[in-house]
Amino acid sequence: MKTQDETLARLGARIRSLREERGMKLKDLADTTGLSDAFVSRLERGQVSSSVANLIQIAQALDIGVSELFAAPQDQSRSHVTLHRHGDDGEDQSIPSTGYRWRLFAGGMPNDDLEVFHLSFPRKNRMDLMVSHPGQEYCYVISGRIRFHVGAEVFDLAPGEGIFLNSELPHRADNISEDEARILMVVAKSPQKAEHFDWWRVPSAAAPPRSPKSKPQGD
pLDDT at 194: 41
pLDDT at 1: 44
Q: pTM (2 decimals)?
A: 0.62
pLDDT at 76: 58
Cα–Cα distance measured from residue 195 to residue 132, given in angstroms and rounded to the nearest whole number: 9
Question: For every one of its 219 residues, what pLDDT tens digit does the chain have, with 9 covering 90 and above?
Answer: 456 677 788 889 999 999 998 999 999 999 988 889 999 999 999 888 777 778 878 887 888 777 778 765 555 566 667 776 776 656 777 766 667 788 888 876 767 788 888 889 888 777 666 777 778 899 999 999 999 999 999 999 999 999 999 988 888 899 999 999 999 999 887 665 444 444 454 444 444 445 555 555 444
Q: Where are the domains of the chain?
A: 4-72+89-188
pLDDT at 110: 66
| CATH fit for domain 4-72+89-188, picks 2.60.120.10, 1.10.10.10, 3.40.50.620, 1.20.120.790 | 2.60.120.10
Which has the closest alpha carbon to 121: 196, 5, 200? Answer: 200
Cα–Cα distance measured from residue 44 to residue 56, given in angstroms and rounded to the nearest whole number: 15
**Is 15 buried (19+), middle (13-18) or exposed (0-12) by CB count in 10 A?**
buried
pLDDT at 98: 67
pLDDT at 176: 94
DSSP assignment of 165-208: EETTS-EEEEE-SSS-EEEEEEEE--S-------TTTSPB--PP
DSSP assignment of 13-77: HHHHHHHHHTT--HHHHHHHHT--HHHHHHHHTT-S---HHHHHHHHHHHTS-GGGGTSPPPS-S
